[in-house]
A and B are shown apart, each in its own frame.
Chain A
C-alpha cells in the first residue's frame, strides 16, 4: 500500500556535527511534506515543511530537500545542539490529500555533548 519510509530509526551525532534523516514516499501525487519534532513526553510539533513546487527550504539550522523524481525528501540539521535531541517524524499527504498525512516511523536523534 501507499506509505512513507523513514531512515535511520536511530541517529547519534556529536554536538556541532550535522544530522540527516531521509524519507521516501510511494505516491507521486503527494505534494506536501512536513517534519515534526517530538521531545520526550511532549506532543509532536511542526518544525519545517516543504511543498512540491520547491526543491529546498531553510530555516536557520534546519533545511529540507525534496527530490520529486526519486520521491524522497530529507531533513538536515546543522550545528546540532543537545536540545535537538528528540524523535523526528516525516510525513506526506499521500494521494495529494488536502490535509490527511501519513507519517514515517520516526528517527530518535541523540546529540552527544
Chain B
C-alpha cells in the first residue's frame, strides 16, 4: 500500500523567504509527526498531531515555524523568514498505534 509521502523532495530557497513543506500520511493513521534531521545528526522532534486534539508544538524551535493538519490528513509545515540554520532534512511520520512510519523527507537548503 501507499506509504507516507512528502513534497517537495528538495527545496532550495533564499534566506528570508517563506517555505511550505507537505506531508501525506498513510490513510487512516491518526497521528502525524514532524522531525528535523540536520546533517549527520539525530531526529529532532518538532510537532505532533493526534486526531482532533490540540497539537503538541513543544519541539518547534522558534515562532517562525508552524504547522497545520487539515481534515485530519495532510499536513503542512511552514517556515517563515528562513535562516541558513534551518537547512536540514524535514521528516514526516504517521502512526495508527506505536510504530511510526516515515516519509522520504524534504531536503531544505537555505542559501
- Which residues in window 40-99 of B have CB below 8 A to A? 41-43, 45, 48, 50, 56, 91, 95, 97-99
B41 touches A105 (CB 8 A): yes
A54 to B49, CA, bound (A): 29
Q: A44-B91, A100-B48 are in contact. Are A34 and B98 (CB under 8 A)?
A: yes
Q: List, in ascending order, chain A residues with CB within 8 A of B41's CB.
A: 105-106
A43 within 8 Å of B (CB atoms): yes
| 0 or 1 for each of A69-113: is its CB under 8 Å from B? (1 = yes) | 000000000000000000001000100001111111110000000
Considering only residues 18-48 of chain A, those with a C-beta below 8 Å from chain B are 32, 34, 36, 42-46
Complex: chain A residue closest to B99, CB-CB: A46
User: Smallest CB–CB gap between B40 and chain A, Å?
Assistant: 8
**Given contacts A43-B104, A44-B91, A49-B98, are A89 and B50 in contact (CB under 8 A)?**
no
The bracket for how many chain B residues form the interface is 20 to 34
Inter-subunit contact A99/B95 (CB<8 Å): yes
Would A49 and B45 count as touching, CB distance under 8 A? no
Q: Cβ of A89 and Cβ of B43 under 8 Å apart?
A: yes
Whole-angstrom distance between the alpha carbons of A65 and B46 in the complex?
29
Q: Are A106 and B42 in contact (CB under 8 A)?
A: yes
A100 to B48, CA, bound (A): 8
Q: Which residues of B contact A98 (CB under 8 A)?
A: 98
Asked if A44 and B98 make an inter-chain contact with CB atoms under 8 angstroms apart, the answer reads no
B56 contacts which chain A residues (CB < 8 A)?
A: 100
Knowing A99-B95, A100-B48, A100-B56, say if A44 contacts B102 (CB, 8 Å): yes
Please name 13 further chain A to chain B contacts, defined as beta carbons within 8 Å, in addition to the given A99-B100, A105-B42, sorted by A numbering.
A34-B98, A43-B103, A46-B99, A49-B99, A89-B43, A99-B31, A99-B48, A99-B97, A100-B45, A100-B56, A101-B45, A101-B100, A102-B45
Q: List, sorted by A's number, 13 A–B pairs whose CB atoms are closer than 8 Å.
A: A34-B99, A36-B102, A42-B104, A43-B91, A43-B103, A45-B102, A93-B98, A98-B98, A99-B98, A100-B56, A103-B42, A103-B43, A104-B42
